[in-house]
Amino acid sequence: MKDGPVIAKIAALLGDPARANMLTALMDGRALTASELAGLAGVTLQTASGHLAKLGEANLVDVEKQGRHRYFRLSGPDVAEVLERLMGLAQRTGAVRVRTGPKDQALRRARICYDHLAGERGVEMLDAARRLHLIAEDADLVLTGKGRDFFTGLGVDIGRLEKGKRPLCRACLDWSERRNHLGGALGAALLDTFIARGWARRLEGRVISFTPAGTQAFRAAFSSE
């Protein structure tokens, strides 16, 4: 069969453990140097540079030059969504580590998926948005009139988001919950809002930590009572 896009090349790139570790490290949306990625992947700088060259040729990562340093980031949110789905597939089929790391529970509770909220808290938010009729489902997620007013009240500039090229609302399958959380421009703007309001903060890696007051404010905002 020769029809359609060639997925074997991309699959082979993602299948290498070192490259997979580097791509996963970039899922928090930050740009990292080759040295940082080498350390996270457990390979030498020379090996990491070779991997990054291949990922760049495949348009999976972008590189930015600042002075003598080169910074790498995922080429777009669609790459993060594919990785998130693959992690969910690995979880469902049992392709997981025998020993869990100290951050695993925190990652499951709340984490960043490229630039939006994922984990238990992210799924909880989308469930509440549906229940409150802020977001409806058609072919994809759709912001309702009530939702426009609600999120504007939280400080999100919906009009500005709609002028961008990125979809406003997008369902992203959560690897740990195996249900959708909210991606797209709105998902990213909401996470920025939670951090700006002091409800949550970014910790090392992909972990998002909500403060006790932030958790209370989050639950109050998305409560139907």
Q: What are the pLDDT digits (tens) for 71-91?
A: 999 998 889 888 988 888 887
pLDDT of residue 140: 84
105 in any annotated domain: yes
Among 182, 183, 212, smallest CA distance to 198 is for 212
Residues 107 and 210 in one domain: yes
Determine how many CB atoms are found less than 10 A away from the CB of residue 203: 14
Which one of 22-26, 87-91, 138-142 scores highest in mean pLDDT?
A: 22-26
Among 181, 211, 206, 176, smallest CA distance to 195 is for 211
- Report the predicted TM-score, pTM, of the whole model to 2 decimal places: 0.78
Record the tokens describing residue 90, joined without a space: 């690995």
Here the CATH number for the domain that contains residue 67 is 1.10.10.10
How many domains does one find in the chain?
A: 2
Q: What is the DSSP letter of 209?
A: E
Residues 135 and 197 in one domain: yes
Q: What does pLDDT average to over the chain?
A: 90
Residues 158 and 106 in one domain: yes
Instruction: Give Rg (Cα) of the chain.
Output: 18
What is the band of 97 on the pLDDT scale with cuts at 50, 70, 90?
A: low
pLDDT of residue 102: 45
Domain span holding position 96? 79-221
Residues 92 and 67 in one domain: no
Residue matched to tokens 């920025």: 192
2 in any annotated domain: no
* Residue that wins the pLDDT comparison between 208 and 84: 208
Residues 96 and 137 in one domain: yes
Residue 31: pLDDT over 80: yes
Lowest mean pLDDT among 66-70, 180-184, 200-204: 66-70
CA 26 – CA 205 distance, rounded (Å):
9
Residues 180 and 210 in one domain: yes
